């Protein structure tokens, strides 16, 4: 008999055309099934080596994944392939207040599909526009993250580390409400957020390098080196060090064989950030 996550993943793929991927789950004790005591993304990071890059709508692959991990959490890939951009509202970091301020200034968000997260937040779904939308953390406002190309969100009926389940908001279920287009003001604000510029790219590092750093396995013995190179590439592209650590951590969880412990990864990123500040000649910024 198919598990509830399996049935949900199949439905998202078959009926909505959303690409899905299997995620780790939480144990009864609130630990991650990855088995790492210092996992920095409990029940949220990909089970598969390719992570979000391997997300699919293929029923055979989906069946294989959830036959192997029947209680695995469900991830939905965002970006143009799934036709989605998701606004992640985290009230623990002021997301509700930040969104209320934006709506007071620009107008209410349209009725659209919305999920309630196991951590007490909200995932607000929008149709992907005819332009690039990347991923960002708190650039739109405190506690407001954007998930676009190359991103994903945890979806119902996944279970949070707290033991609470993700669920669709009662009046905003995907089988009852259409995914709304992004309001122009929101799209304009997202488009105006700082973007990595090609001019900041290290010499000789193009699309192939991005894939090498973020899509290929990190075998034991090369993990520190790959983490350092990935962090350097992001920082030289102008990315904030805190966001860099978040991205490198997700890549580490998906590609590390096995992943580095979080403290070691943070040490590597901090070291590269120190060197990058020296290269830029910028004032020292406290980094934790």
- Considering the domain architecture, whether residues 25 and 65 belong to the same structural domain is answered as yes
State the pLDDT confidence band at 282, using cuts at 50, 70 and 90.
Answer: low
Q: Percent of the chain beyond pLDDT 70?
A: 90
pLDDT at 202 over 50: no
Which pLDDT tens digit goes with each residue over 121-180? 999 999 999 899 988 888 899 999 999 988 899 999 999 999 999 999 999 999 999 999
- Considering the domain architecture, whether residues 56 and 163 belong to the same structural domain is answered as yes
pLDDT at 211 over 80: no
The string of DSSP letters for 48-78 reads STTGGGG-B--HHHHHHHHHHSTT-EEEEE-
- Considering the domain architecture, whether residues 210 and 255 belong to the same structural domain is answered as yes
What is this structure's pTM? Answer: 0.71
Mean pLDDT of the residues in the chain? 86
Give how many domains the chain has, as a whole number. Answer: 2
- Considering the domain architecture, whether residues 243 and 151 belong to the same structural domain is answered as no
Calculate mean pLDDT across residues 44-50. 85
Beta-carbon contacts of 204 under 8 Å, excluding residues fewer than 6 positions away, are none
State the pLDDT confidence band at 115, using cuts at 50, 70 and 90.
Answer: very high
**Structural domain span for residue 31:** 4-191
CA distances from 241 to 23, 45, 234, 236, 266 (A): 25, 20, 9, 10, 10
CATH number for the domain including 180?
Answer: 3.30.2250
Which pLDDT tens digit goes with each residue over 178-194? 999 999 999 999 988 76
């Amino acid at each position: 008999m198919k598990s509830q996550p399996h049935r949900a993943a199949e439905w998202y793929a078959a009926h909505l055309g959303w690409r899905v991927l299997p995620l780790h789950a939480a144990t009864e004790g609130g630990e991650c099934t990855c088995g790492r005591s210092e996992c920095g993304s409990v029940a949220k990071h990909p089970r598969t080596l390719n992570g979000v890059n391997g997300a699919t709508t293929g029923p055979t692959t989906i069946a294989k994944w959830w036959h192997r991990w029947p209680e695995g959490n469900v991830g939905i890939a965002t970006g143009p392939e799934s036709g989605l951009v998701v606004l992640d509202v985290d009230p623990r970091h002021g997301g509700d207040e930040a969104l209320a301020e934006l709506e007071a200034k620009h107008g209410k968000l349209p009725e659209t599909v919305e999920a309630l997260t196991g951590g007490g937040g909200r995932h607000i779904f929008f149709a992907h526009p005819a332009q690039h939308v990347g991923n960002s953390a708190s650039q739109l406002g405190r506690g407001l993250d954007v998930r676009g190309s190359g991103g994903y969100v945890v979806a119902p009926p996944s279970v949070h580390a707290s033991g609470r389940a993700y669920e669709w908001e009662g009046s905003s279920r995907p089988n009852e409400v259409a995914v709304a287009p992004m309001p122009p003001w929101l799209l304009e604000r997202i488009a105006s957020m700082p973007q990595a510029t090609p001019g900041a790219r290290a010499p000789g590092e193009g699309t192939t390098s991005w894939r090498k750093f973020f899509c290929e396995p990190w075998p034991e013995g090369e993990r520190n080196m790959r983490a350092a190179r990935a962090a350097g590439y992001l920082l030289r592209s102008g990315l904030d060090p805190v966001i860099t650590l978040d991205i490198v951590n997700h890549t580490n969880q998906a590609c590390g064989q096995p992943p580095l412990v979080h403290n070691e990864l943070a040490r590597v990123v901090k070291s590269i950030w120190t060197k990058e500040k020296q290269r830029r000649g910028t004032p020292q910024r406290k980094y934790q």
